[in-house]
Chain A
Amino acid sequence: MSTTNASTSTSTSTNTATAPRSSKPASASASSPYSWRQAMPVPRLLQQLFDLVPLATYSANTLPARSPSTTPDQLPTLYVFASDEDARFGAPSFNPSCLKWQTYLKLAGVRFHITPSTNHASPSGALPFLLPARSSPTDSPAPIPSNKLQHYAFAQGPAPPPELTSLRLEAYQALLDLPVRNAWLQSLYLEPAHAALLDELYVAPASSSGWIRASLRAQLRRAAEAEILRTSSSATAAVVDVDAVYAAALEAFEALAGLLAESETGWFFGAAQPTLFDASVFAYTHLMLRYLGPGEENGSAQAAEAPFVPARLGVVVGCAGAGELERHRERMLKRVWGEPLVDADGVRRSIE
């Protein structure tokens, strides 16, 4: 039964636009700049009085200790899902969407800091977004949401990757946006085997309270399930067809591996250097290999003898085609995070 639903979501027939992440609408700016002075001219005498005061103006109050101060090197900040330590080293984010843009900006040669954050901080309701450097200690630059980051990279990056024009791009992009993403959601958010990992990545950093964690966990699971149901082939189903989700992902990875095998350069669509699409694929393959590989939680001895489990998406990625995707991930890691990670204190660390 695992193959019955899978055919609808494979290869070129899919033409669905990028599935938006569930997000809250950004609230309208709360403070209105309207002033009664614009409506009513102030009498000259009063205006002269107003101009006299304040009689003394001292320098500005300093900001509280938790305020992110101006970065000494005047770099923009990318707000992503990351642990504090990963953020200090600029290590890869554990969220596919964040990792995609983090990778892309690095490919484009943009220099930036990353900071751990939550969806609540984002103007669009979802991470990542980029906050340009401040020009003064109290200046608030407008944030750049993820859908404008490519444009930003073209404007600011010294080496923006080439833009692909292949007609097949949309179809392959849809593979990432639907079957691959759904499998990621299913495996990380809904598989009981990965509950501890989900807690570690998304739930525990939010609060130390068990009550809040339980509530957030339930919210995350509900949202993931709704998202899979919304975008899966059988839109009317009330229950996720787990087998179909994994089967679709399996086919998608085979197709991607096949596409990569056609390329002579080692990058998708035969591009001379990695593009946004390479970053998009890497964002999933790296995270699946790192977090959802064989026996991440259960101990290696047990996992080595375990049968093929479709929820172990790292294994699926590794087996796709003749291992092209795993080698592609290695190349990307080397190219983007080639040098060992170093934090501000000069402490070194490896990616894994």
Chain B
Amino acid sequence: MASSASSHGSINAADHSPPPPPTASAPVQAVENNLLTPVALSSVSLHGAKNTRRSLLDHVFKPLVRESASADTTFGDVLARLSIANQKLARYDIFKEDSIRVFISEALEQPQPGLHLDCTNLDVSISVKEKSRLVLSAGTDFGNAEGSAYTNAVIRNILGGAETLSVNASTGTRTRSAYNAVFSTPVNGNPDLRLGLEGLRSSTQKPWASHEEQLTGGNLRLAYLADNGDSHALAYSGVWRQLTNLAATSSPTVRADAGDSLKSSIAHTFTRDRRDRAGNPMLSQNGWLLRTVSELAGWGPLRGDVAFCKSEVEVSGAVPVLNSIRGGLPSGISVGGGLRMGVLYPLPTGYSLTGPAQPSRINDRFQLGGPTDVRGFKQCGLGPHDGTDAVGGDVYAAGSVNMLLPLPRAGPESPLRIQLFTNGGRLVALKNKGKAGEGGPTAALDSRAVVNGISSAVCELADGLPSLAAGVGLVYAHPVARFELNFSLPLVQRRGEEARKGLQVGVGINFL
């Protein structure tokens, strides 16, 4: 439907005449000559939004009309506001990207006589084409160290308010099956503030700890994209986790954690991405990224079977070097680094802060190692191992330093790079220093034991050298995922940790 409104403007004797740039073409010149001309909006109309609610469009155009109502509105102001409104329309993701066109013309009929004789009244007409409401797709996906095939159905603009329902089914190398459905809607017509409700069910093999984890649950998520590009996401999730199908060789640690648990948690994720992704999104050689994840599970009204506070920080960055050799153009050479840290702090259930707390379970603990984080180690090869099972840890720190060099023949524009790297990390578990082995897996820790355990685990991070590996490899930054083929050697490791000597292939999106 069309949306229209009118506004008033009165004269404000403007003594201006900006000199036009000499190279401007005639229409541009005409616009620039009139940037400071006082105008009033007579009408705004939108064409082509057949399935979109008026109330959603009001969120976009009401501010435009309201702000343009003041007396000193100029043609330039209107253009700027129109541009903002159009970007907003585009971010709803319901209109075809290149279909949004704006037509501005002088109003044919003069509104109420006597009021606007001395300013130009404008009619604004915007035409859009809606994207198709139902999109079915199928394909293959690369996540971190996992490939999968998926089918996906997206229904856009279901209720006319830019709501989206996305239904997904996939099967992969490790995720045997995953189904999820997400309904998301902009809050208050704001395309940068979205509320999503998701239901999911999946079954994932964890060969590094010889079991399979089945998840059934849902989450409610509020995501906010700030004007400066920062993103915040606040989510409540309730998930029934079932550890099952253990291998014959499963360790006693995994057996002790087999069975059911409910995790009820709220999590906040903050991302500030200042990487230069203009060239190749998978090959950023300039800029930095900060991400924090904080999760509170089981405490107070959250209930559930597990209670902890978990916090993770990731910083990474790169600086281009030797740009001078190509006269300021990117040389394709950069030095980069990354650091990740995390702590899991067991909490008592209920509202107490000092009551006994259950130590963490294997599905809540951190895992470290593999071609996409600490290279030169097998997937989850770092940290405590019970037999051959990687059982995870409660505190970790990992870092990497790398240098990217263009290939001699391919040059800096190609997505290929040679990589020299060294990386390392420590993954440490919270120990029960009390009477070990008595009371079985359900023995709780009192608050003093938790404090002591965490502080000694943090101290242990710096106890000796971290487990380290170094190597050289080839990076191929495909727009979909980054591929790495590395030759690496472990330099330092702990007994039981699984290093990988020689070649290692990494496919993923987020590398350390």
- The verdict on A165 contacting chain B, using a C-beta distance below 8 Å, is no
Q: Give the nearest-CB partner of A70 in chain B.
A: B437
Question: A201-216 CB contact bits vs B (8 Å, 1 = yes)?
Answer: 0000011110110011
Q: Which residues of A contact B38 (CB under 8 A)?
A: none
A307 at interface (Cβ–Cβ under 8 A)? no
Most buried by B among A58, A72, A120: A120
- With A54-B499, A68-B437 known as contacts, the answer to whether A216 contacts B305 (CB < 8 A) is no
B491 contacts A60, C-beta separation under 8 Å: no
B 481-510 to A, binary, CB cutoff 8 A, 1 in contact else 0: 000000001111111110101110000000
Which of A42, A70, A121 lies in contact with B258, CB distance below 8 A? Answer: A121
* Chain-B contact segment, one of A24-32, A295-303, A318-326, A334-342: A24-32
Given contacts A26-B248, A63-B429, contact A68 B441 (CB under 8 A): yes
**Are B490 and A54 in touch, CB under 8 angstroms?**
yes
Interface residues on A, range: 35 or more
Specify the chain A residue showing the minimal Cβ separation from B392: A64
Instruction: Say if the beta carbon of A65 comes within 8 Å of chain B.
Output: yes
- Cβ contact of B246, chosen from A59, A121, A344, cutoff 8 A: A121
Which of A42, A64, A71 has the most CB atoms of chain B within a 10 A radius of its CB?
A64
| A313 interfacial contact with B, CB 8 Å | no
Q: Tell me if B385 is interfacial: C-beta within 8 Å of chain A.
A: yes
Residues of B within 8 A of A65 (CB): 359-360, 429-432, 443, 445, 453
User: Are A64 and B384 CB-contacts (below 8 A) given A53-B489, A55-B492, A211-B240?
Assistant: yes
Spot the interface stretch: A137-145, A180-188, A235-243, A281-289: A137-145
In the assembled complex, which residues on chain A have CB atoms less than 8 Å from the CB atom of B501? 50, 53
B364 to chain A, nearest CB (A): 10
What is the CB-to-nearest-CB distance from A211 to chain B, in angstroms, rounded to a whole number? 7
Q: Are B440 and A29 in contact (CB under 8 A)?
A: no
Q: Pick the contact of B464 from A28, A58, A70, A211 — CB < 8 Å?
A: A58
Does A266 touch B at the CB level, under 8 Å?
Answer: no
Q: Does A118 contact B (CB under 8 A)?
A: yes
Contact (Cβ within 8 A) B255 A26 = no
Partner of A208, one of B247, B305, B490: B305
Residues of A within 8 A of B243 (CB): 120
Q: A63 near B253 (CB under 8 angstroms)?
A: yes
- B55 CB–A CB distance under 8 Å: no
Check A304 for interface membership: any CB of B closer than 8 A. no
Given contacts A56-B492, A65-B430, A209-B305, contact A120 B259 (CB under 8 A): yes
What are 30 A-B pairs with beta-carbon distances under 8 A?
A: A24-B244, A27-B245, A27-B247, A31-B210, A42-B502, A53-B491, A53-B501, A57-B494, A58-B465, A62-B429, A63-B384, A64-B360, A64-B365, A64-B394, A64-B430, A65-B360, A65-B430, A65-B453, A67-B256, A67-B391, A84-B442, A117-B256, A117-B258, A120-B245, A120-B260, A123-B250, A142-B249, A143-B248, A208-B349, A209-B264
Q: A60-B385, A65-B432 are in contact. List 13 more A-B contacts (CB 8 A).
A: A27-B212, A30-B247, A58-B493, A67-B384, A67-B386, A68-B437, A88-B438, A88-B439, A140-B386, A140-B388, A140-B389, A208-B262, A344-B438
Q: Write the residues of chain B forming the contact surface with A, with a CB cutoff of 8 angstroms.
A: 205-208, 210, 212, 240, 242-253, 255-262, 264, 303-305, 349, 358-362, 365, 383-389, 391-394, 427-432, 436-443, 445, 453, 464-465, 489-497, 499, 501-503
